[in-house]
Amino acid sequence: TSKDFVVDKTAALSQANKELKEDIKNLLSDKNNKIEVVMKILKDSSSAEINRYYWYIGVIATNGETLGILIDTNTGDIIAKKV
């Protein structure tokens, strides 16, 4: 379960918020724009390591813009970021 990860969901959301804060502010600068936040656990099946998982946090805006971040569940490292 996600409780077994070194970086739990609360820490991952906090890190994503810190990394994407300005970009989210920009999305919300248009008062008509709304956002939805999606959080998933992704398994890296291509990795030789058996338990290689990542937190994916995506932000989808009603105007079609998207943000995303991929965080390693063991180290907290940011693997990828799309702004």
Question: Residue 19 pLDDT > 80, yes or no?
Answer: yes
What whole-number distance in Å separates Cα of residue 74 and Cα of residue 11?
A: 12
For every residue of 17-71, DSSP letters joined together read HHHHHHHHHHHHTSTT--EEEEEEEEE-TTSSSTT-EEEEEEEEETTS-EEEEEE
pLDDT value of residue 12: 96
pLDDT tens, position by position, 27-39: 999 999 999 999 9
What whole-number distance in Å separates Cα of residue 48 and Cα of residue 68?
A: 25
Single pTM value for the model: 0.88
Which residues, other chains included, contact 64 with Cβ-Cβ below 8 Å and sequence gap of 6+?
Answer: none
71 — pLDDT class (breaks 50, 70, 90): very high
